[in-house]
Structure 1
Amino acid sequence: MLVSTVIRDRIAYVKMQNGKHFNCLSEDMCHELIKAIKDSYSQECVGIVIQAEVNRHVWSAGHDIRELPQDGSDPLAFNVPMEELLREVQDTPIPVIACVDGTVWGGACDLCLSCDMIVSSKDSTFAITPAKIGIPYNASGLLHFINQLGINKAREMFFLGTPIEAEDALNVGLINHVAENSEELEKLLEEHFLAPLRRNSILSVSAIKRQFRILSRASTVISAENFERINAYRQRVYGGDDYKEGINAFLEKRPPKYKGKATDLD
C-alpha cells in the first residue's frame, strides 16, 4: 500500500507512505490517492488532509519520471493518472487540505495547488520543474497556477524551476499559513483549520466549493484556434529530442544537454 487513510472525528487523514521513493506520483500512487479521496467522501467526512511520509526532507518528488512516455504521446494528456488525481482533488465536494512538511517538486506542487488550502512548515519549499525535464506543461495546469499566483509569479516558477520558500509562497498566496516547525504545523492544522471545519455546515461548505470550482473555470474559455495552437506548441516539445534528453538525463543522473531552439516552435 502506497497510501494509508485514518478517519478521526469526521476528518480523513490521507498519507502518502512511499518515502523510500520520495512519494513520486506514479500511476499506482495516483490511483490509490484517488480511491482514498473517493472513499473518504463516501464515508461522509467533512474534510480531507493530504500528508506524506517524509524522507530526506522530501514531501513529494512529483511525477514519476520513469513512467513518462517516449513514444510521442502526450505526457500530460487528459486521462493520465496524475491529471485524473488533480481533477479528483479539485472536484471532490468537501475541502481538501495539503499539510506540507518538506520539499515539494513538479507535479506534487500542482497537487498542492489543487487542494483547497495549504499549510506548511517554515522550511518547506515549492518548485514546479517541467522546464528542467523538457516537459511542455498543459494549458489547464498553467491556468491553474495563473489563477492562484498571478501571471508574473507563475512565469517565475515555470521559467526558472527553482524552489520558492514557504514565506515567499505565503506572500504570493500559494499557501494559507506557515508554522515554525513540525509540531506547530500539527497544532496549526487542528486549531485553525479542522476545528472550525467540523463546526460548520458541510452542506453549505460543499455548495460553496462547487461554486468556487465553476467560477474559477468561467474565465478560462479560449477559442478553438488558440486551443489548437497550444496543442501544436506542446506536440513539438514532447515529440522532440529535448524531451527525450531531459528524461534520459534525469534517469542517468547527469545534467541534460538540450539543443532545441525557441525558433523550432515557429
Structure 2
Amino acid sequence: MSGILIERHGDGVVVLTLNDPDRRNPMSDPAMINPLLEALRGIEHDPDTRVVVLTGAGTCFSAGGNLHEMKARSGMFGGSADQIAQAYHTSVQQLPLVLSRIDVPVIAAVNGPAYGAGCDLSLMCDMRLASTTARFGEVFVDLGLVSGDGGGWFLVRHLGYQRAAEISFRARPVSAEEALELGLVLSLHEPGALMDAALDMAREIAAKPAPALRMTKRLLRMAERSHLQDYLSAVAAMQAVAHGTPEHAERVSAAVAARAR
C-alpha cells in the first residue's frame, strides 16, 4: 500500500512514514507526494503536534524519482517543458515550502538509502539521525538532471558551497559514516535502534514549553536569511510574548524552587 502512514503519540510526537517499500518509497508519485503534503499541512495548523519524525518503510528511506516513469516520460515527467515545470511547482516543490513554514521541529530518521529527491527531503528536515545502512546521494547530474525540488539550496547551507559542489558535481553517494563526519547527520544507529533513538530525541524535545519551542524554530530559520537588525527586532518581539506565557512562569518558578533546595 502506497502513501503515508501517520502515527500520533500522546506526547505530541507524530511519526510520518513514507509507505511504498516495494518501490523504495519514490518521491515522484502523487500517491506519495499528495498525502505527505496533506499530512504536513495539517501539522502546520495543529497546536497539539510538538515534534515530527519522518522516516521510510522497509530498508530504504527514499530512492527519489521513479526511473521507469522518467524513461517513459510519464507522470510528472511527461508533457512539454512548461507542463513538466508546472508539475514540479505543484508537487515536489511544495514540500520545502510547507516544511519551511512548520513551526515544530522535524527529525528525519534516515533508515536506509536516501537518493535524489529522497536525499533532498531529508535535507529539508531540521535534524537527521541515520541508520548505519543509510546513504545520501545527490545523484541528479548522473541522470542528466538537476535537483528539481531545491535540494541544492539546502545542501549548500548544510555543508558550505565547496563540499556541496564536490558532492553534486560528482554525483557521489555519501556513506552514513561520512555523513556523520561532515555534520550532515547528528548520529548513527544500528537499523533496529534508529527509531527508538529518534523517538527518544523527539520526546525530549516535545517535553519543552511549546511556545518557546515554536518561536525558537522560527528564529533559527530566520537567521538563515535576515539582517542582524531585523533578526534582533524579531527576537525582542518573540521574547516579549514568551515572558507572558504560563509555560515561562511555571518553568521559572520550578527553577527558583530547585535552586532554593
Are residue 175 (structure 1) and residue 185 (structure 2) matched? yes
Specify the alignment match of 2:218 in structure 1. Answer: 210
Q: 1:14 & 1:187 partners in 2: Cα distance?
A: 15
Q: Which runs of 5+ in 1 are unaligned?
A: 220-266
**Deviation of residue 144 (structure 1)?**
1.7
Which residues of structure 2 form unaligned runs of 5+?
Answer: 70-75, 228-261
Q: Report the count of equivalent residues.
A: 215
Q: TM-score scaled by structure 1?
A: 0.74
Q: 1:70 to 1:143 in 2, by over 3 A?
A: same
Structure 1 residue ranges, 4+ long, deviating more than 4 angstroms after superposition:
74-78
Q: 2:13 aligns with which of 11, 14, 17?
A: 11
8 Å CA contact 2:107–2:202 kept in 1: the answer is: no
Q: Aligned to 2:5, what secondary structure does the other structure show? A: strand
Q: Is the 8 A contact 1:86 1:110 kept in 2?
A: no
Alignment of 1:226-265 (within 5 A): none
The letter for the 1-side match of 2:51 is: G
Deviation at 1:122, TM superposition (A): 1.3
CA RMSD of aligned residues (A): 2.1
Residue 184, structure 1, aligned to residue 193, structure 2: yes
Question: 1:213-265 deviations in whole A, cap 9, x for unaligned?
Answer: 2221348xxxxxxxxxxxxxxxxxxxxxxxxxxxxxxxxxxxxxxxxxxxxxx
Instruction: Give the alignment's TM-score, normalised by structure 2.
Output: 0.75
1:45 lines up with 2:49 in the alignment: yes
Report the CA distance between 1:31 and its aligned residue.
1.3
Residue 122, structure 1, aligned to residue 132, structure 2: yes
Segment of structure 1 superposing worse, 148-157 or 100-109: 148-157
SS at 1:153 equivalent: helix
Change (3 A) 1:137 1:187: closer
The CA distance in 1 between the partners of 2:156 and 2:85, in whole Å, is: 18
Work out the CA distance in 1 between the residues paired with 2:192 and 2:163: 30
Note if contact 1:61-1:104 (Cα within 8 Å) is conserved in structure 2: yes
**Displacement of 1:83 after TM fit?**
0.8
Aligned 8 A contact 1:76 1:138 in 2: no
- The alignment partner of 1:79 has SS state of helix
CA displacement 1:21-46 (0-9 Å, x = unmatched): 21101233111101112223444210
Alignment-mate amino acid for residue 108 of structure 1: G
1:155 to 158, 165, 177: 165
Deviation string, structure 1 residues 156-184 (Cα, Å, up to 9, x no partner): 221111211111111112111111x1222
The CA deviation at 1:76 is: 5.8
Residue of 140, 143, 147 corresponding to 1:133: 143
Structure 1 residues 195 and 27: alpha-carbon distance in aligned structure 2, compared to 1, 3 A threshold:
same
**Match for 1:82 among 82, 92, 95?**
92
Report the equivalent of 2:102. Answer: 92
What SS class does the counterpart of residue 145 from structure 2 fall into? coil
Instruction: Name the amino acid aligned to 2:96.
Output: L
Asked whether 1:111 is paired with 2:112, we answer no
Cα distance, 1:206 vs. partner?
A: 0.9
Q: Which residue, out of 25, 32, 52, partners 2:35?
A: 32
Alpha-carbon shift at residue 89 of structure 1 (Å): 1.6
Distance 2:129 2:112 in 1: 11
CA distance in 2, matches of 1:138, 1:17: 22
